[in-house]
Amino acid sequence: MSDNPKKTLIFCYGTLKQGFANHFLMQDLISHNDCDFIGSYVTNNNLPLVIGPYGVPFLLNLPGSSRHRVRGELYSVSDSGLRRLDELEGITLGHYERLPITLTPENGGDSTVVEAEAYYAHRSFAEEMWRKCGEEGYDAYTVEMGMNYVKKDFRPKDRSLRDQIALFCSSD
């Protein structure tokens, strides 16, 4: 890791995972010693994972609302790496918020509980998005889902993601 020894465990469930559109950022952080891959993990609690506008995955902080535990990857990230992740996830724009999450290793043989953080859909639209998605979620963001993801550079420039989320949630 970089000069600052402080590390934060981050659970990635969507486009930051290996093989997905934004994993290049994790690779860059790893190459600069700002991130380490820990392993495959699953949420300890059932949480909704839904797909919003532009194929963007959102983990909703609505424990027990879904019948699924969500699978993803755990990373140990430096403070400078966190700043880059926060920027990508639009923390200051109200897209996501980084909050605590409890995980266990996905292999099933190890029941060790790990406290980490994850990027959840911002609370201002999470419940509305859950209703819009028919209160049905997924246990993992898959390659098939990832094929519908539209990178930021290819989205309309005249509308923010928050605008698109509002339109998505209000559409019939």
- The structure tokens 């909050």 sit at 99
Is 73 noted as a catalytic residue in this protein?
no
What is d(CA 18, CA 168) in angstroms, rounded to the nearest whole number? 27
CA distances from 127 to 50, 62, 95, 133 (A): 11, 8, 14, 10
Residues 67 and 138: beta-carbon distance below 8 Å: no
Q: Which of 87, 89, 127, 128 is catalytic?
A: 89
Distance CA 126, CA 122 (A): 6
Catalytic residues: 89
